[in-house]
Amino acid sequence: MSKVMQNVVLLMDSNSNTFDITLKAVNMYLNRIFIDEEAAFESTGVHFFKGSRELHEERVLMKKGLKIVDQNKSDDLKMHFLCAIYHQGRPYFWEDRWEEEDELRSFILKEMETHKIQKAMVTLLYMRNNNLITKENMESLIDGRQSVNDDLESFFEKLRLGEKQTEFVQTYFVPKLTAKELELVEKKDSNYFKNFFWSNPDVDEIQMKMSESDSKYVQAFGRRRTFIVENVILEENLSEADYSCKFS
């Protein structure tokens, strides 16, 4: 089966929350995409955007990305935006954010029309450390659910084969604490606890006594949203007002 050429554009926002490990997730996805020499992926570049707190600032970021794509586009390359961006300090789609995501989709479409880009895939990523759990809770968490690594493999394979993706995937990541990290937890180290969303992330004392193991695990949650934005031209000479869009 022939490989589909992918031009991957990474758009990264800044975030001051130390429990936000989206950059780690982005690195995992990027490494999986580009480590395979057989896969036909190219990168236009990595573009960081600092201080995004309002939608119009995020639009500046997307405009820059689409302009870069316009300068580097090729009939052989399919555009794919891998994004870790925020709205008013919070990631898209973590809670009830679908309306804001639709605004982002509509904006991307308008910019695609400007730069005569017919189709693009957009992937939004987010991951955070929540709290600490016991070995038993870790085993219960992973039973029948999709890990970040599982999603990575599925995501990569679909990209490699050129399959259309419209997905919302919730994932988990449960690294085991090192001896040094356990020591910091025992000391209730406030700086270390800043790495978690919960203000007191430690395992409940009763749960820990009931556990068969002294080990503790980080409970990290991730989400990936992938969708296609397609610019459909009804007739060759229609005005911009006659363009329609289709999300698939």
Percent over 70 (pLDDT), the chain: 66
In the chain the beta strands, taken as DSSP E runs, fall at 6-13, 41-49, 78-84, 86-87, 90-91, 119-133, 167-173, 217-232, 244-247
27-73: pLDDT as tens digits: 888 887 777 666 556 665 555 555 444 445 556 666 766 666 666 66
Write down the mean pLDDT value for the chain. Answer: 76
> Which tens digits make up the pLDDT trace of 74-104?
555 577 778 777 665 666 655 555 556 677 7
Give the pLDDT confidence score for residue 161 in this predicted structure: 78
* Residues in contact with 22: Cβ distance below 8 Å, sequence separation at least 6, in sequence order: 15, 84, 91, 125, 126, 127, 128
- Name the one residue in this structure whose structure tokens are 């600032």: 57
SS3 68: helix
Q: Which has the closest alpha carbon to 90: 156, 20, 27?
A: 20
pLDDT 10s digits, 125-143: 889 999 999 999 999 988 7
Cα–Cα nearest to 172, from 132, 212, 141, 208: 141
